[in-house]
Chains A and B, each alone.
Chain A
Amino acid sequence: MAEPARARPKPTPETQHYWDGAKAGELRLQRCDDCSNVYFPPRPFCPGCASRKVSVFKASGKGFLYSYVINHRPAAPGFTPPYAIAVVELEEGPRLMSNIIDCPQTPEALELDMKLEVAFEKLDDAITLPVFRPAKG
Protein backbone atom coordinates (compact mmCIF):
# COMPACT_ATOMS: atom_id res chain seq x y z
CA MET A 1 0.00 0.00 0.00
CA ALA A 2 1.29 3.45 -0.87
CA GLU A 3 2.17 5.88 1.92
CA PRO A 4 -0.65 8.34 2.57
CA ALA A 5 0.02 11.52 0.63
CA ARG A 6 0.33 14.97 2.15
CA ALA A 7 -2.73 17.20 2.04
CA ARG A 8 -3.08 18.54 -1.48
CA PRO A 9 -4.52 21.99 -2.06
CA LYS A 10 -7.44 22.41 -4.43
CA PRO A 11 -7.42 25.86 -6.09
CA THR A 12 -10.53 28.00 -6.36
CA PRO A 13 -11.18 30.66 -9.02
CA GLU A 14 -9.81 33.29 -6.62
CA THR A 15 -6.56 31.43 -5.88
CA GLN A 16 -5.79 29.85 -9.27
CA HIS A 17 -3.22 32.54 -10.18
CA TYR A 18 -1.21 31.70 -7.04
CA TRP A 19 -1.00 28.02 -7.90
CA ASP A 20 -0.32 28.74 -11.59
CA GLY A 21 2.54 30.95 -10.38
CA ALA A 22 4.00 28.27 -8.15
CA LYS A 23 3.92 25.81 -11.05
CA ALA A 24 5.82 28.38 -13.12
CA GLY A 25 8.38 28.89 -10.33
CA GLU A 26 7.01 32.23 -9.14
CA LEU A 27 5.65 33.30 -5.77
CA ARG A 28 2.73 35.54 -6.68
CA LEU A 29 1.16 38.10 -4.38
CA GLN A 30 -1.50 40.74 -4.89
CA ARG A 31 -1.26 44.50 -4.51
CA CYS A 32 -4.09 47.01 -4.28
CA ASP A 33 -3.95 49.53 -7.14
CA ASP A 34 -5.67 52.14 -4.96
CA CYS A 35 -3.94 51.92 -1.56
CA SER A 36 -0.81 49.85 -2.45
CA ASN A 37 -1.57 47.28 0.26
CA VAL A 38 0.12 43.93 -0.43
CA TYR A 39 -1.88 41.03 0.95
CA PHE A 40 -2.25 37.25 1.29
CA PRO A 41 -4.06 34.87 0.96
CA PRO A 42 -5.41 35.66 -2.51
CA ARG A 43 -8.77 37.35 -3.06
CA PRO A 44 -10.03 39.65 -5.82
CA PHE A 45 -10.33 42.72 -3.58
CA CYS A 46 -8.20 44.58 -1.09
CA PRO A 47 -8.87 43.59 2.54
CA GLY A 48 -7.41 46.95 3.54
CA CYS A 49 -9.70 49.32 1.59
CA ALA A 50 -12.23 47.05 -0.21
CA SER A 51 -11.10 48.19 -3.66
CA ARG A 52 -11.64 45.63 -6.42
CA LYS A 53 -8.77 47.16 -8.43
CA VAL A 54 -5.96 44.78 -7.56
CA SER A 55 -2.98 43.35 -9.45
CA VAL A 56 -1.05 40.12 -9.25
CA PHE A 57 2.73 40.48 -9.18
CA LYS A 58 5.80 38.28 -8.77
CA ALA A 59 7.15 38.57 -5.23
CA SER A 60 10.86 38.69 -4.44
CA GLY A 61 10.66 35.33 -2.70
CA LYS A 62 12.77 36.74 0.12
CA GLY A 63 11.76 36.77 3.73
CA PHE A 64 12.66 35.72 7.24
CA LEU A 65 11.63 33.08 9.75
CA TYR A 66 8.88 34.64 11.87
CA SER A 67 8.00 31.61 14.04
CA TYR A 68 7.66 27.83 13.90
CA VAL A 69 7.06 24.56 15.67
CA ILE A 70 8.92 21.32 15.10
CA ASN A 71 6.16 18.76 14.96
CA HIS A 72 6.91 15.38 16.53
CA ARG A 73 3.48 13.80 17.02
CA PRO A 74 1.01 13.24 15.62
CA ALA A 75 2.58 13.62 12.18
CA ALA A 76 0.43 14.63 9.23
CA PRO A 77 0.07 12.05 6.44
CA GLY A 78 3.03 12.27 4.08
CA PHE A 79 5.38 13.79 6.69
CA THR A 80 8.22 12.14 8.58
CA PRO A 81 8.68 13.65 12.04
CA PRO A 82 10.26 15.72 13.32
CA TYR A 83 9.50 18.42 10.76
CA ALA A 84 9.20 22.18 11.10
CA ILE A 85 6.00 24.03 10.31
CA ALA A 86 7.08 27.61 9.80
CA VAL A 87 5.56 31.02 9.28
CA VAL A 88 7.65 33.16 6.94
CA GLU A 89 7.38 36.93 6.78
CA LEU A 90 7.97 38.09 3.22
CA GLU A 91 9.95 41.18 2.26
CA GLU A 92 6.70 42.59 0.82
CA GLY A 93 4.92 42.26 4.19
CA PRO A 94 2.53 39.30 4.14
CA ARG A 95 3.26 36.14 6.09
CA LEU A 96 2.60 32.61 4.97
CA MET A 97 2.88 29.13 6.36
CA SER A 98 5.56 26.94 4.83
CA ASN A 99 8.24 24.32 5.39
CA ILE A 100 11.97 24.97 5.61
CA ILE A 101 14.08 22.75 3.36
CA ASP A 102 17.87 22.22 3.15
CA CYS A 103 18.14 22.87 6.88
CA PRO A 104 18.26 20.56 9.91
CA GLN A 105 14.85 20.51 11.59
CA THR A 106 16.27 21.51 14.97
CA PRO A 107 15.91 24.52 17.28
CA GLU A 108 19.64 25.16 16.88
CA ALA A 109 19.46 25.38 13.09
CA LEU A 110 16.13 27.15 12.91
CA GLU A 111 16.88 30.60 14.27
CA LEU A 112 14.09 33.14 14.40
CA ASP A 113 14.72 36.01 11.96
CA MET A 114 17.04 33.92 9.77
CA LYS A 115 16.85 34.98 6.13
CA LEU A 116 14.97 32.68 3.80
CA GLU A 117 14.30 32.40 0.08
CA VAL A 118 11.53 30.66 -1.76
CA ALA A 119 11.95 27.27 -3.43
CA PHE A 120 9.38 25.08 -5.12
CA GLU A 121 8.36 21.52 -4.42
CA LYS A 122 6.36 19.76 -7.13
CA LEU A 123 3.60 17.54 -5.70
CA ASP A 124 2.15 16.47 -9.06
CA ASP A 125 1.45 17.91 -12.52
CA ALA A 126 -1.17 20.31 -11.17
CA ILE A 127 0.25 21.45 -7.83
CA THR A 128 3.64 22.85 -6.87
CA LEU A 129 4.10 24.13 -3.31
CA PRO A 130 6.18 27.17 -2.41
CA VAL A 131 8.60 26.23 0.39
CA PHE A 132 11.61 28.10 1.81
CA ARG A 133 15.31 27.46 2.35
CA PRO A 134 18.01 29.42 4.19
CA ALA A 135 19.07 32.33 1.96
CA LYS A 136 22.49 32.06 0.34
CA GLY A 137 25.04 34.74 1.11
Chain B
Amino acid sequence: MRRNAVAVVGAAETTELGVIPNMSQLQLHADAALNAIKDAGLKLSDIDGIATAVETPQQIAHYLGITPTWVDGTSVGGCSFMLHVRHAAAAIEAGLCKTVLITHAESGKSMIGKLPRSIPADSLQGQFEAPYGVYGPPSMFPIPVLRYMKTHGITHEQIASVAVFQREWAAKNPRAMMKAPITVEDVLNSKMIAYPFRILQCCLVTDGGGALILTSADRAKDFPNKPVYILGTGESVETPMVSQMRTFDSSRAFTVAGPTAFREAGITHKDVDHLMIYDAFAHLPLYGLGDLGFMPHEETGKFIADGNTRPGGKLPMNTNGGGLSYMHSGMYGMYALQESVRQMRGIAPAQVPGAKISVCHGVGGMFAASGTVIFTNEK
Protein backbone atom coordinates (compact mmCIF):
# COMPACT_ATOMS: atom_id res chain seq x y z
CA MET B 1 0.00 0.00 0.00
CA ARG B 2 1.18 3.55 -0.74
CA ARG B 3 2.51 5.36 2.34
CA ASN B 4 0.49 8.27 3.72
CA ALA B 5 -2.15 8.03 0.98
CA VAL B 6 -4.98 7.73 3.50
CA ALA B 7 -5.53 9.54 6.80
CA VAL B 8 -7.65 9.36 9.93
CA VAL B 9 -9.72 12.57 9.99
CA GLY B 10 -12.17 11.67 12.72
CA ALA B 11 -11.66 9.75 15.96
CA ALA B 12 -13.70 9.46 19.12
CA GLU B 13 -14.68 7.11 21.89
CA THR B 14 -18.11 6.81 23.45
CA THR B 15 -19.13 9.79 25.58
CA GLU B 16 -18.77 7.61 28.67
CA LEU B 17 -16.41 4.70 29.29
CA GLY B 18 -16.55 2.14 32.08
CA VAL B 19 -19.95 1.03 33.35
CA ILE B 20 -22.75 2.27 31.07
CA PRO B 21 -25.96 0.58 32.22
CA ASN B 22 -28.24 2.95 30.30
CA MET B 23 -27.11 2.09 26.76
CA SER B 24 -27.32 -0.99 24.55
CA GLN B 25 -24.32 -2.24 22.61
CA LEU B 26 -25.88 -0.98 19.38
CA GLN B 27 -26.42 2.50 20.81
CA LEU B 28 -22.80 2.53 22.05
CA HIS B 29 -21.76 2.02 18.39
CA ALA B 30 -23.95 4.97 17.40
CA ASP B 31 -22.70 7.15 20.25
CA ALA B 32 -19.07 6.58 19.18
CA ALA B 33 -19.94 7.04 15.49
CA LEU B 34 -21.78 10.33 16.07
CA ASN B 35 -18.88 11.60 18.20
CA ALA B 36 -16.38 10.71 15.45
CA ILE B 37 -18.52 12.29 12.74
CA LYS B 38 -18.73 15.48 14.82
CA ASP B 39 -14.97 15.35 15.40
CA ALA B 40 -14.45 15.21 11.62
CA GLY B 41 -16.96 17.97 10.94
CA LEU B 42 -18.96 15.67 8.66
CA LYS B 43 -22.59 14.72 8.17
CA LEU B 44 -23.80 11.10 8.30
CA SER B 45 -24.60 11.35 4.60
CA ASP B 46 -20.89 11.95 3.86
CA ILE B 47 -20.07 8.38 4.94
CA ASP B 48 -19.96 5.93 2.01
CA GLY B 49 -17.96 3.11 3.56
CA ILE B 50 -18.61 1.23 6.80
CA ALA B 51 -16.68 -1.40 8.73
CA THR B 52 -17.44 -3.07 12.03
CA ALA B 53 -16.94 -6.35 13.90
CA VAL B 54 -19.23 -8.68 15.87
CA GLU B 55 -22.22 -6.50 14.97
CA THR B 56 -22.78 -6.67 11.20
CA PRO B 57 -22.16 -3.73 8.86
CA GLN B 58 -25.84 -3.88 7.87
CA GLN B 59 -26.89 -3.49 11.49
CA ILE B 60 -24.73 -0.40 11.97
CA ALA B 61 -25.54 1.08 8.54
CA HIS B 62 -29.26 0.67 9.14
CA TYR B 63 -29.18 2.06 12.66
CA LEU B 64 -27.19 5.12 11.59
CA GLY B 65 -29.09 5.58 8.32
CA ILE B 66 -26.08 5.16 6.06
CA THR B 67 -26.14 3.79 2.49
CA PRO B 68 -22.59 2.55 1.87
CA THR B 69 -20.88 1.62 -1.40
CA TRP B 70 -18.27 -0.42 0.49
CA VAL B 71 -18.57 -2.57 3.63
CA ASP B 72 -16.19 -4.72 5.67
CA GLY B 73 -17.42 -7.10 8.35
CA THR B 74 -14.05 -8.66 9.15
CA SER B 75 -14.50 -10.03 12.65
CA VAL B 76 -11.36 -11.71 13.95
CA GLY B 77 -11.50 -10.56 17.56
CA GLY B 78 -10.13 -7.49 19.25
CA CYS B 79 -7.75 -6.49 16.44
CA SER B 80 -10.53 -6.45 13.83
CA PHE B 81 -10.34 -2.64 13.75
CA MET B 82 -6.65 -2.68 12.79
CA LEU B 83 -7.64 -4.87 9.85
CA HIS B 84 -10.52 -2.52 9.05
CA VAL B 85 -8.06 0.40 8.88
CA ARG B 86 -5.89 -1.58 6.48
CA HIS B 87 -8.81 -2.68 4.31
CA ALA B 88 -10.36 0.79 4.33
CA ALA B 89 -7.09 2.39 3.24
CA ALA B 90 -6.89 -0.06 0.33
CA ALA B 91 -10.53 0.54 -0.60
CA ILE B 92 -10.11 4.34 -0.56
CA GLU B 93 -6.97 4.02 -2.66
CA ALA B 94 -8.85 1.77 -5.11
CA GLY B 95 -11.68 4.29 -5.39
CA LEU B 96 -14.34 1.99 -3.91
CA CYS B 97 -15.41 4.66 -1.44
CA LYS B 98 -14.26 8.07 -0.19
CA THR B 99 -15.06 8.32 3.52
CA VAL B 100 -15.05 5.25 5.75
CA LEU B 101 -16.54 4.94 9.23
CA ILE B 102 -15.15 2.14 11.44
CA THR B 103 -17.12 1.45 14.61
CA HIS B 104 -16.63 -0.70 17.66
CA ALA B 105 -18.70 -0.95 20.80
CA GLU B 106 -19.28 -3.56 23.41
CA SER B 107 -21.52 -3.75 26.42
CA GLY B 108 -18.89 -6.00 27.96
CA LYS B 109 -19.78 -5.25 31.58
CA SER B 110 -23.48 -4.40 31.53
CA MET B 111 -24.28 -6.98 28.81
CA ILE B 112 -27.13 -4.96 27.29
CA GLY B 113 -27.98 -6.00 23.75
CA LYS B 114 -24.76 -7.98 23.59
CA LEU B 115 -24.65 -10.84 21.11
CA PRO B 116 -24.03 -14.23 22.74
CA ARG B 117 -20.60 -15.80 22.29
CA SER B 118 -20.93 -19.56 22.22
CA ILE B 119 -18.73 -22.44 21.13
CA PRO B 120 -20.70 -25.14 19.26
CA ALA B 121 -20.04 -28.64 20.62
CA ASP B 122 -19.22 -29.90 17.12
CA SER B 123 -16.70 -27.16 16.31
CA LEU B 124 -13.00 -28.00 16.63
CA GLN B 125 -12.80 -25.85 19.77
CA GLY B 126 -15.95 -27.50 21.13
CA GLN B 127 -14.51 -30.96 20.58
CA PHE B 128 -10.84 -30.54 21.41
CA GLU B 129 -10.60 -27.65 23.90
CA ALA B 130 -13.90 -26.95 25.69
CA PRO B 131 -14.14 -30.44 27.32
CA TYR B 132 -10.92 -29.72 29.23
CA GLY B 133 -12.35 -26.83 31.20
CA VAL B 134 -11.42 -23.71 29.27
CA TYR B 135 -13.96 -21.08 30.16
CA GLY B 136 -13.42 -17.62 28.77
CA PRO B 137 -10.23 -15.78 27.89
CA PRO B 138 -8.59 -15.83 31.38
CA SER B 139 -8.43 -19.64 31.24
CA MET B 140 -7.07 -19.67 27.67
CA PHE B 141 -4.94 -16.65 26.87
CA PRO B 142 -2.31 -17.36 29.57
CA ILE B 143 -1.86 -21.02 28.54
CA PRO B 144 1.29 -20.29 26.49
CA VAL B 145 3.02 -18.07 29.06
CA LEU B 146 4.77 -20.67 31.25
CA ARG B 147 6.46 -22.11 28.15
CA TYR B 148 7.37 -18.62 26.92
CA MET B 149 8.92 -17.83 30.31
CA LYS B 150 10.92 -21.07 30.39
CA THR B 151 12.20 -20.74 26.82
CA HIS B 152 13.18 -17.09 27.11
CA GLY B 153 14.16 -16.88 30.79
CA ILE B 154 11.39 -14.45 31.76
CA THR B 155 10.44 -14.03 35.45
CA HIS B 156 7.08 -13.62 37.17
CA GLU B 157 8.28 -10.26 38.53
CA GLN B 158 9.11 -8.99 35.03
CA ILE B 159 5.64 -9.82 33.73
CA ALA B 160 4.08 -8.25 36.83
CA SER B 161 5.94 -5.02 36.04
CA VAL B 162 3.83 -4.64 32.87
CA ALA B 163 0.78 -3.99 35.04
CA VAL B 164 2.71 -1.68 37.38
CA PHE B 165 3.98 0.64 34.64
CA GLN B 166 0.71 0.74 32.76
CA ARG B 167 -0.94 1.86 35.98
CA GLU B 168 1.55 4.75 36.02
CA TRP B 169 0.30 5.78 32.57
CA ALA B 170 -3.33 5.35 33.64
CA ALA B 171 -2.76 7.67 36.60
CA LYS B 172 -2.20 10.48 34.07
CA ASN B 173 -5.45 9.75 32.24
CA PRO B 174 -8.72 11.13 33.68
CA ARG B 175 -10.75 8.60 31.66
CA ALA B 176 -8.79 5.57 32.90
CA MET B 177 -10.78 3.12 35.01
CA MET B 178 -7.96 2.20 37.44
CA LYS B 179 -5.55 4.89 38.62
CA ALA B 180 -4.27 3.93 42.09
CA PRO B 181 -0.54 3.06 42.07
CA ILE B 182 0.38 -0.63 42.39
CA THR B 183 3.66 -2.47 43.02
CA VAL B 184 5.06 -5.74 41.70
CA GLU B 185 4.26 -7.22 45.13
CA ASP B 186 0.65 -6.04 44.84
CA VAL B 187 0.37 -7.75 41.45
CA LEU B 188 1.90 -11.01 42.66
CA ASN B 189 -0.32 -11.05 45.75
CA SER B 190 -3.58 -10.21 43.99
CA LYS B 191 -6.36 -12.74 43.56
CA MET B 192 -5.36 -15.80 41.53
CA ILE B 193 -7.31 -16.18 38.28
CA ALA B 194 -5.45 -18.78 36.21
CA TYR B 195 -1.94 -19.56 37.42
CA PRO B 196 0.45 -17.96 36.71
CA PHE B 197 -1.83 -14.95 36.18
CA ARG B 198 -3.52 -12.99 38.91
CA ILE B 199 -6.29 -10.46 38.55
CA LEU B 200 -3.95 -7.48 38.12
CA GLN B 201 -2.43 -9.24 35.09
CA CYS B 202 -5.84 -9.63 33.44
CA CYS B 203 -7.71 -6.93 31.55
CA LEU B 204 -10.61 -4.96 32.93
CA VAL B 205 -14.19 -5.72 31.92
CA THR B 206 -16.01 -2.55 30.90
CA ASP B 207 -18.53 -0.97 28.52
CA GLY B 208 -17.63 1.44 25.76
CA GLY B 209 -16.88 2.00 22.12
CA GLY B 210 -14.94 4.00 19.59
CA ALA B 211 -15.06 5.06 15.97
CA LEU B 212 -12.64 6.24 13.31
CA ILE B 213 -13.18 8.09 10.04
CA LEU B 214 -10.71 7.67 7.19
CA THR B 215 -10.40 9.46 3.88
CA SER B 216 -7.75 10.14 1.25
CA ALA B 217 -4.78 12.23 2.31
CA ASP B 218 -5.58 14.69 -0.49
CA ARG B 219 -8.89 15.55 1.19
CA ALA B 220 -7.58 15.23 4.75
CA LYS B 221 -6.10 18.73 4.97
CA ASP B 222 -9.59 20.24 4.66
CA PHE B 223 -10.78 18.69 7.93
CA PRO B 224 -10.86 20.51 11.29
CA ASN B 225 -8.32 18.27 13.05
CA LYS B 226 -4.70 17.48 12.25
CA PRO B 227 -4.69 14.48 9.85
CA VAL B 228 -3.05 11.28 11.08
CA TYR B 229 -1.62 9.38 8.14
CA ILE B 230 -1.51 5.61 7.62
CA LEU B 231 2.18 4.87 7.08
CA GLY B 232 2.11 1.07 7.11
CA THR B 233 -0.17 -1.86 7.91
CA GLY B 234 -0.06 -5.61 8.36
CA GLU B 235 -2.42 -8.45 9.21
CA SER B 236 -2.56 -12.21 9.67
CA VAL B 237 -4.39 -15.05 11.38
CA GLU B 238 -3.09 -18.29 12.86
CA THR B 239 -5.60 -20.54 14.64
CA PRO B 240 -8.73 -20.16 16.78
CA MET B 241 -7.33 -22.92 19.05
CA VAL B 242 -4.65 -21.68 21.42
CA SER B 243 -3.46 -25.27 21.86
CA GLN B 244 -2.64 -25.46 18.15
CA MET B 245 -0.30 -22.47 17.87
CA ARG B 246 2.87 -23.36 16.00
CA THR B 247 4.85 -22.51 19.14
CA PHE B 248 4.25 -20.82 22.49
CA ASP B 249 7.62 -19.03 22.23
CA SER B 250 6.15 -16.51 19.77
CA SER B 251 2.92 -15.65 17.90
CA ARG B 252 2.98 -16.53 14.22
CA ALA B 253 0.25 -13.97 13.48
CA PHE B 254 2.32 -11.26 15.23
CA THR B 255 5.44 -12.19 13.27
CA VAL B 256 3.55 -11.73 10.01
CA ALA B 257 1.45 -8.63 10.77
CA GLY B 258 4.11 -6.60 12.60
CA PRO B 259 7.06 -6.93 10.22
CA THR B 260 4.73 -6.47 7.21
CA ALA B 261 3.68 -3.10 8.62
CA PHE B 262 7.29 -2.06 9.28
CA ARG B 263 8.31 -2.98 5.73
CA GLU B 264 5.34 -1.14 4.27
CA ALA B 265 6.12 1.93 6.39
CA GLY B 266 9.80 1.80 5.47
CA ILE B 267 10.85 2.57 9.04
CA THR B 268 13.18 0.94 11.54
CA HIS B 269 12.45 0.32 15.21
CA LYS B 270 14.57 3.32 16.18
CA ASP B 271 12.06 5.56 14.35
CA VAL B 272 9.20 4.57 16.68
CA ASP B 273 8.24 7.31 19.16
CA HIS B 274 5.15 5.70 20.61
CA LEU B 275 3.94 2.12 20.87
CA MET B 276 0.65 0.44 21.64
CA ILE B 277 0.64 -3.34 22.13
CA TYR B 278 -2.81 -4.74 22.88
CA ASP B 279 -2.58 -5.98 26.46
CA ALA B 280 -5.57 -8.17 27.20
CA PHE B 281 -3.18 -9.99 29.54
CA ALA B 282 0.22 -8.95 30.89
CA HIS B 283 2.33 -11.24 28.69
CA LEU B 284 1.17 -9.72 25.40
CA PRO B 285 3.53 -6.71 25.44
CA LEU B 286 6.45 -9.15 25.77
CA TYR B 287 5.31 -11.21 22.81
CA GLY B 288 4.74 -7.98 20.86
CA LEU B 289 8.15 -6.47 21.57
CA GLY B 290 9.84 -9.67 20.46
CA ASP B 291 7.64 -10.57 17.49
CA LEU B 292 7.63 -7.04 16.08
CA GLY B 293 11.42 -7.16 16.18
CA PHE B 294 12.14 -4.49 18.78
CA MET B 295 14.46 -6.93 20.57
CA PRO B 296 15.00 -10.67 21.07
CA HIS B 297 12.29 -12.28 23.23
CA GLU B 298 14.93 -13.01 25.88
CA GLU B 299 15.29 -9.26 26.53
CA THR B 300 11.61 -8.25 26.58
CA GLY B 301 10.95 -8.91 30.29
CA LYS B 302 14.07 -7.06 31.43
CA PHE B 303 13.37 -4.19 29.02
CA ILE B 304 9.96 -3.57 30.57
CA ALA B 305 11.03 -4.26 34.18
CA ASP B 306 13.90 -1.77 33.77
CA GLY B 307 11.33 0.95 33.08
CA ASN B 308 11.93 1.56 29.38
CA THR B 309 8.20 1.64 28.58
CA ARG B 310 7.01 3.62 31.65
CA PRO B 311 6.41 7.39 31.66
CA GLY B 312 9.75 9.00 30.86
CA GLY B 313 11.17 5.78 29.37
CA LYS B 314 12.73 5.57 25.93
CA LEU B 315 9.88 3.60 24.36
CA PRO B 316 6.56 4.87 25.76
CA MET B 317 4.08 1.99 25.53
CA ASN B 318 0.36 1.68 26.24
CA THR B 319 0.19 5.30 27.27
CA ASN B 320 -3.57 5.30 27.94
CA GLY B 321 -3.08 2.68 30.67
CA GLY B 322 -3.90 -0.20 28.34
CA GLY B 323 -6.47 -2.94 28.67
CA LEU B 324 -5.09 -3.60 32.15
CA SER B 325 -5.89 -0.13 33.54
CA TYR B 326 -7.64 2.10 30.96
CA MET B 327 -10.57 0.07 29.76
CA HIS B 328 -11.31 -3.26 28.04
CA SER B 329 -14.79 -3.85 26.74
CA GLY B 330 -13.84 -7.21 25.19
CA MET B 331 -12.36 -6.00 21.88
CA TYR B 332 -9.73 -3.49 22.94
CA GLY B 333 -8.10 -2.83 19.55
CA MET B 334 -10.22 0.26 18.88
CA TYR B 335 -9.01 1.93 22.10
CA ALA B 336 -5.37 1.28 21.21
CA LEU B 337 -6.01 2.92 17.81
CA GLN B 338 -7.72 5.88 19.51
CA GLU B 339 -4.70 6.43 21.74
CA SER B 340 -2.30 6.28 18.77
CA VAL B 341 -4.43 8.89 16.98
CA ARG B 342 -4.50 11.13 20.08
CA GLN B 343 -0.72 10.85 20.39
CA MET B 344 -0.27 11.76 16.71
CA ARG B 345 -2.65 14.70 17.08
CA GLY B 346 -0.71 15.81 20.14
CA ILE B 347 -3.74 15.78 22.45
CA ALA B 348 -3.24 12.63 24.57
CA PRO B 349 -3.67 13.03 28.34
CA ALA B 350 -0.14 11.60 28.74
CA GLN B 351 1.27 13.12 25.57
CA VAL B 352 4.67 11.91 24.37
CA PRO B 353 6.40 15.18 23.47
CA GLY B 354 7.14 15.52 19.77
CA ALA B 355 5.96 12.00 18.84
CA LYS B 356 5.89 11.58 15.05
CA ILE B 357 5.48 7.83 14.54
CA SER B 358 3.14 5.55 16.48
CA VAL B 359 2.96 1.77 16.10
CA CYS B 360 -0.35 0.20 17.11
CA HIS B 361 -0.36 -3.58 17.35
CA GLY B 362 -3.41 -5.71 18.03
CA VAL B 363 -4.30 -9.29 18.84
CA GLY B 364 -7.56 -11.11 18.14
CA GLY B 365 -8.82 -14.15 20.01
CA MET B 366 -6.10 -16.00 21.92
CA PHE B 367 -3.25 -15.19 19.49
CA ALA B 368 -5.72 -16.19 16.75
CA ALA B 369 -5.31 -13.03 14.70
CA SER B 370 -3.22 -9.92 14.51
CA GLY B 371 -3.25 -6.48 12.92
CA THR B 372 -0.68 -3.69 12.99
CA VAL B 373 -1.13 -0.07 11.96
CA ILE B 374 1.71 2.47 11.86
CA PHE B 375 0.61 6.10 12.02
CA THR B 376 2.46 9.34 11.43
CA ASN B 377 1.56 13.02 11.69
CA GLU B 378 4.11 14.04 9.06
CA LYS B 379 3.48 13.58 5.37
Chain A residues near B136 (CB-CB < 8 A): 74
Complex Cα spacing A41 to B150, Å: 26
Chain B residues near A129 (CB-CB < 8 A): 131-132
Complex Cα spacing A7 to B150, Å: 31
Q: Which of A40, A67, A70, A76 contacts B134 (CB 8 A)?
A: A76
Interface of chain A: mostly helix, strand, loop or mixed: loop
Q: Of B122-130, B223-231, B291-299, which stretch is located at the interface?
A: B122-130
Interface string of A76-106 (1 = CB under 8 A from B): 1111001101110000000111110000000
Whether A67 contacts B122 in the complex (CB less than 8 A), given A99-B132, A107-B195, comes out as no
Least distance between B173 CB and chain A CB atoms (Å): 28
Whether B147 sits at the interface, judged by CB under 8 Å, is: yes
List the interface of chain A (C-beta within 8 A of B).
Answer: 6-12, 15, 19, 40-41, 66-79, 82-83, 85-87, 95-99, 107, 112, 123, 129
Contact A9 B133 (CB under 8 A): no
Chain B residues near A10 (CB-CB < 8 A): 120-122, 126-127
Interface of chain B: mostly helix, strand, loop or mixed: mixed
Whether B145 sits at the interface, judged by CB under 8 Å, is: yes
Least distance between A29 CB and chain B CB atoms (Å): 12
Contact A9 B146 (CB under 8 A): no
Within 8 A of A (CB), among B84-142: 119-122, 124, 126-136, 138-140, 142
Complex Cα spacing A59 to B181, Å: 52
Q: Which of B135, B192, B196, B244 contacts A74 (CB 8 A)?
A: B135
Q: Which of A41, A66, A70, A87 contacts B127 (CB 8 A)?
A: A41
Whether B76 sits at the interface, judged by CB under 8 Å, is: no
Nearest B residue (CB) for A123: B131
Within 8 A of A (CB), among B186-201: 191-197
Complex Cα spacing A134 to B121, Å: 28
Q: Which of A66, A82, A98 contacts B132 (CB 8 A)?
A: A98
